[in-house]
Amino acid sequence: MLSRRRFLLTAAAAPSLAPALSWAEAGAPDLLAAAKTPETGHFTLLGLRRSGETVFSLPLPGRGHAAAAHPYRAEAVAFARRPGTFALVIRCTDGAAIAKLTAPEGRHFYGHGVFSADGGLLYTTENAYETGAGRVGIWDASDGYRRLGEISSGGIGPHDMALLPDGAALVVANGGIRTHPASGREKLNLPEMAPNLSYLSTVDGALIDQVGPEAELRLNSMRHLAVAQSGLVAVAMQWQGDPEDGVPLLAFHSLGAPGLLIAEAEPHQLARMQGYAGSVAFDPSGVRAAITSPRGGQVMAWNIEGGPPALWRRPDVCGLATAPEGWLATDGIGGFFALAPDLAAKPLARHGVAFDNHLIALEKFS
């Protein structure tokens, strides 16, 4: 067994052995999304252009989730629906599953993952469900996605995670909710729930910084996050209290800052979000972040420099990605929209599919 420090360094230094196909060879998509075709009930992984055009549609074995895209190879990781124990690496030129990641004994995936900046490693959020400890699994993307090891996620229920722009740390949203596969998605620890945002060193896995909501927002599960080029993190939350409570669902943080900056709004506007933010993304300025609520059919965007939030309504809207002009958003009836910084919306397409929760941008603009 290699030491934690050693395997991290070893893997990062390992050369790529096989010639791999680039995203250009997969039709140069700008975005990835998982979707369901209602007529057939089949699930697919879609490659999309920012114009709304589909460049590939590849079959998935089940409801796929939150594909992580390799930075330059045409490879996407699709996770089984939570609490899933496997993930497939799909080669996007032909749809072949070139690797299957199986969670180690006693672990399941939480449905999100991210590649290291050089594409050498894949990190996945996992639940060591007998103890409830959150883990980040580490896989060698340059050697057939072999598992290298794991580190603590810094909390319970790690969900989404991202790399800081300098690649030196991972930032993980630990939702704080303990689940066990024997009871599906049942929440086992709401009375003690303590979500946090943890920054983990990519060199040795050490916990560098950690921040959580104030006591009154303790039931706000930190779930999805986005990182701007400045290193600013936007974290989207899901409220475990009454959906009508109208609590804030977005917070900002920078590594080292003493606390979270909460995105406030009128309680009735927040209540329309139904306590649920599904996706979060910055716009290219890196000072505006938006969250989507499929349950409330509403998108809200805040500028960290101040001012009232912008609003846009669209039923079942959930997928959200940074785009050169603002954001792109998808919904559960195949709608594909461009959103301006003030959330003025322009429909680009309506596909005959139901887009799943997330829209993954292959290139960063924020």
Site string for another protein, 104-123 (x = CB under 8 A): -------x------------
Which of 141, 15, 8, 20 shows the shortest CA–CA distance to 87? 141
Site string for another protein, 204-243 (x = CB under 8 A): -------------------x--------------x---x-
User: What are the C-alpha distances in Å from 113 to residues 32, 123, 126, 161?
Assistant: 14, 5, 10, 7
Q: Which stretch binds another protein (CB under 8 A): 7-15, 61-69, 90-98, 252-260?
A: 61-69
Is residue 213 within 8 Å of 195, Cβ to Cβ? yes
Which of 119, 102, 82, 199 shows the shortest CA–CA distance to 152? 199
Question: Within 239-278, which residues bind another protein (CB under 8 A)?
Answer: 242, 244-245, 268-269, 272, 276, 278
Distance in Å, CB of 318 to another protein, minimum: 4
Q: How far apart, in whole angstroms, are the C-alpha atoms of residue 152 and residue 175? A: 14
Is residue 171 within 8 Å of 233, Cβ to Cβ? yes
Q: Side chain identity at 96, as an amino acid letter?
A: A
Distance in Å, CB of 138 to another protein, minimum: 23
Asked whether the bond before 71 is cis by omega within 30 degrees of 0, the reply is no
Distance in Å, CB of 171 to another protein, minimum: 18
Site string for another protein, 133-172 (x = CB under 8 A): ----------------------------------------
Q: Does 313 bind another protein (CB under 8 A)?
A: yes
Q: How far apart, in whole angstroms, are the C-alpha atoms of residue 140 and residue 120? A: 6
Q: Which stretch binds another protein (CB under 8 A): 49-57, 141-149, 211-219, 292-300?
A: 292-300
Is residue 306 within 8 Å of 291, Cβ to Cβ? no
Q: Does 176 bind another protein (CB under 8 A)?
A: no
Q: Of these, 3, 5, 28, 38, which contacts another protein (CB under 8 A)?
A: 38
Question: Within 314-333, which residues bind another protein (CB under 8 A)?
Answer: 315-318, 331-333
3-state secondary structure of 278: coil
Name the residue nearer to another protein (CB basis): 121 or 172: 172
DSSP H helices in 30-87: none
Q: Side chain identity at 108, as an amino acid letter?
A: H
Size of the site for another protein (CB under 8 A): 39
User: What are the C-alpha distances in Å from 362 to residues 71, 141, 206, 213?
Assistant: 7, 17, 28, 30
Q: Of these, 64, 120, 205, 294, which contacts another protein (CB under 8 A)?
A: 294
Residues 6+ apart with CB under 8 A from 231: 164, 165, 166, 254, 255
Binding residues for another protein, per CB under 8 A?
A: 36, 38, 63, 65-66, 82, 111, 185, 223, 238, 242, 244-245, 268-269, 272, 276, 278, 294-295, 297, 313, 315-318, 331-333, 335, 345-347, 350, 354-358
